[in-house]
C-alpha cells in the first residue's frame, strides 16, 4: 500500500484499515507457525503497512 493512498483516507477509514491489517497479520503469523505460509516476506510487508497507517493517524491527530 502506498503512503499517498493512505494519506487520502479519512481517520475512520484508517482505523478500519488498521484493524483489517492487524487481523491479517495475526492470520499470517498463525499460518507461519503451522508451516502453511507460502511467502514469509508478506509478514514484513503487512507490518510496514501497519506502521504507515499508524504514522498517518498520528499526523492527522496532531
Reading the chain (62 residues) residue by residue, the pLDDT tens digits are 788 999 999 999 999 999 999 999 999 999 999 999 999 999 999 999 999 999 999 999 88
From 40, 41, 56, select the one nearest 5 (Cα to Cα): 56
Owner of C-alpha cell 495475526: 26
Terminal CA-CA length for the chain = 23
**According to the model, what pLDDT value does residue 62 have?**
80
Cell of 27: 492470520
Amino acid at each position: 500500500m502506498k503512503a499517498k493512498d493512505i494519506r487520502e483516507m479519512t481517520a475512520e477509514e484508517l482505523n478500519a484499515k488498521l484493524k483489517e491489517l492487524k487481523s491479517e497479520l495475526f492470520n499470517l503469523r498463525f499460518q507461519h507457525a503451522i508451516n502453511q505460509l507460502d511467502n514469509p516476506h508478506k509478514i514484513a510487508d503487512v507490518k510496514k503497512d501497519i506502521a504507515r497507517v499508524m504514522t498517518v493517524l498520528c499526523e492527522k491527530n496532531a
